[in-house]
Structure 1
Amino acid sequence: MMDRYWFGEVNRISPEAPVPIVRVERREERLGGAANVALNAVALGVDAGLMGVIGNDEAGDNINRLLEKSGIDSYLSCDPQISTIIKLRVIGRQQQLIRIDFEERPTEHVLQDKLNRFNTLLNAADVVIFSDYAKGSLVNVTTMISAAKSAGKIVLVDPKGSDFVRYAGATLLTPNKSELKQVIGEWFSEDELTEKAQKLRRDLDLQGLLLTRSEEGMTLYTEGEIVHVPAMAREVYDVSGAGDTVIATMAVMMANGLSMHEAVVIANRAGGIVVGKLGTATVSREELFPEQFVQG
């Protein structure tokens, strides 16, 4: 996805309707969706490649340009029958006033080509991340997870929707509260949440389930332990892309041999940093591990 930001001043209300008039003064384009996950990964010092679908248009060209500039290997499939997904945010006085989405679902032929390319590239990867935004690019996710698992890869999934069965066999699932409620229903106590979360984890044959809980922090459910990490005490400016930062940080830490428990503590720190930034953003190694970069 292409994340576009239009920044401007708001000085009056429109005479046509009770809405603010934004005089656009600055425009920015940023990598969004799974591209933001890849960007967060490379910001932490690893190599990353990106698969997905774009259109044969200016936004798709710009995504490839930004990927190249960021050092991310592009394995994007071009579907000439659709337009590249764009999320346009209008910002006035440092507040998001409206978001406008442009999106179409990829065609079946392009998705089959994408699956074939995935199987070709799989052996070169240590970790595979599936970022599901319910835009139609992951219709083959069950087959992909099975292939990655058979190849001995660490598989992380940021899920979407009410059908988590298609993510069965992944190493780690990272739903937020609203996503988990769609699958297991409401809970009225921590014990009930634990029981339902652990049942889901076992039913889906997951090694871990990481529930991101906004101001309540994160909870990791595994066979051997339950780990709760409180949220960092800091001002929240923008939660856009925070889940991307968390799953990317988990992947990088696990690829470097850390346990899920150890990785969650660091991912929670990364999430706490990125919500203090506007829009989809990344966290650098210097921000995450400042003690390693102290000048003596």
Structure 2
Amino acid sequence: MFWGIMVFISFFSGLVSYRVVLKQLIRQQVTLRYRRTIFGFLWTLLNPLLNMAVIATVFSIVMKFPIQNYAIFLFSAVIPWTMFSNTISQCSMSLLANENLFKKIYLPKQLFMTSSALSVLIDSLLSTVCLFIIAYFFGAKLSPALFFLPVSFAILFFFSYGLGLIFSIVSVFLRDMQYLIGVLLQALYFMTPIIYPVDAVPEQYKWVFSWNPMYYFVDLFRDPIYNSQLPNTHSIQLCLIFAAVSFVLGLFVFKVNDKKIIFRL
């Protein structure tokens, strides 16, 4: 217990001591990501919007799922998935992408994963607000349950951030991981009821979803946005457990390997 507290303090003291650098890294990632593009920051909105438009058109016409307001159904699941996948992808590459920087000067390495995760969170919050305004005109409802969404974002952030810390370390020691992550995320995407309702899955395969954390995280967003109701207690409890385990495990993996990273780059 004492060692765990010391890990927590050591990790966050580095972030606090270098908070100016952290702010600059976040600002850089948010503002420079779409530099020299025609639409600039609007791509934060256009990327998920165009993705939703293509999927909604194809699956509503070809698959013909019996779902009312399929675009809203899809939108409510694309939000958490996009935040999760972008956090994993960007955090996993943060150490490799910045190795030249912290080889020259000392910087706490957690700055890079943290700035990546927080910049994705900012992008997700801004794009969600903009997309919901559009979704409102397609039938999305305003309800008190929407006030739960900040909690949903917070829980998903710690879950994604913890996994991002783990994958960032693994990617340093196993360079093949940067290629495997894309494949793993694509497989998980189709194993999560994002583009289809779970009722469309044959009964004998539904047990697979009970082992998929993203199945429950989608509920944290889909219930307030699509069903206009609070997520069920079971999903909230499981997501809190997943987030806590992921975050603590991420801190542990990072602390154990922190001093070894420089020798593997």
Q: State TM-score, norm by structure 2.
A: 0.28
Larger relative contact order (Cα-Cα within 8 Å, sequence gap ≥ 6):
2
TM-score of the aligned structures, taking structure 1 as reference length: 0.26
